Amino acid sequence: MTVIRSVHRAFHVLRIMNEKPVWSLQELGDRTGLPKSTLHRSLAALREEGYVRSHEGMYGYYQLTGAVNELSHGVVQQSRLVDAAAPILIATTKRIKWPLSIGVVDGCDLRVNFCTMPYSPYAIRPSSYGRRYTLFESALGRAYFSFCDAGERRILYDLYCLGHPDTSPPNFISMRRMVTQTRTQGYGLRRGDKDSDSSALAVPIMAGGNIVGTMAYSTFSRMLDNDLIKKFLPELRKTADQIGQVWEQETDLLS
């Protein structure tokens, strides 16, 4: 427990020090609420690890070093999207009961970075986390490919050809038809071959006029008809809009 408390205090100090460039010991003590002896130990540990700087020329002042940037190297755009989306997706699934998933670009495919199958009583499988879906055959992929800009669409097409050398991509006429239809109806659609298979529809998550991911609703193939789409599409669009708004707000704070 002592080690856990020490780690907790160290992160607390890091978060506080991130509020401004330079701190005195008195200011840090007032802001963190930690006793000076405890604060000294936390700062000493952070200095030893290279995250805090203080030397004779600083006259008792402390500041963060560039090493703190290393802590965020694994926190990429896709991870922040999940942070923004997860609570919204869970709340929506608890309301509509059906599972939702977030898809992000991974090479020439879409990869599920978060899903709410564990929160749905009607999930077809325990989880789809980490599953990859192709651009032209999945709801997630069709939605992303259709709503991204023309430049990214060209890149994704080239990556698909390189990543799937044994699979012929759609010809340009078929591709244009798919993009037009998907953009017109506002969602990508995949229907399973059998009634027992899953089917899905996916909507884009837009922020600042750009697509940042796609969100899919999945159900049993025998249930996915036009009436069901009309029933749930407004809910899906509302949820995607909420995620996009949170994403924009968090991005503005980081910029």
Which pLDDT belongs to residue 168? 84
What is the value of pTM for the model shown?
0.75
Which pLDDT belongs to residue 228? 94
What is the 3-state composition of the chain as percent helix, strand, coil, each rounded to the nearest 5? 55, 20, 25
Which pLDDT belongs to residue 73? 62
Q: Decide if 188 contacts 140 (C-beta within 8 A).
A: yes
**Blockwise average pLDDT, block size 10, the chain, 255 residues:** 75 90 89 93 92 73 83 70 91 96 92 90 87 94 96 92 85 94 97 80 95 96 93 97 91 64
Q: Which domains does the chain have, with CATH numbers?
A: 2-72 (1.10.10.10), 77-254 (3.30.450.40)
Q: Decide if 205 contacts 212 (C-beta within 8 A).
A: yes
DSSP 8-state assignment for residue 58: G
Strand partners, 203: 215
Report the alpha-carbon angle 16-243-229, nearest 5.
165
Which pLDDT belongs to residue 250? 76
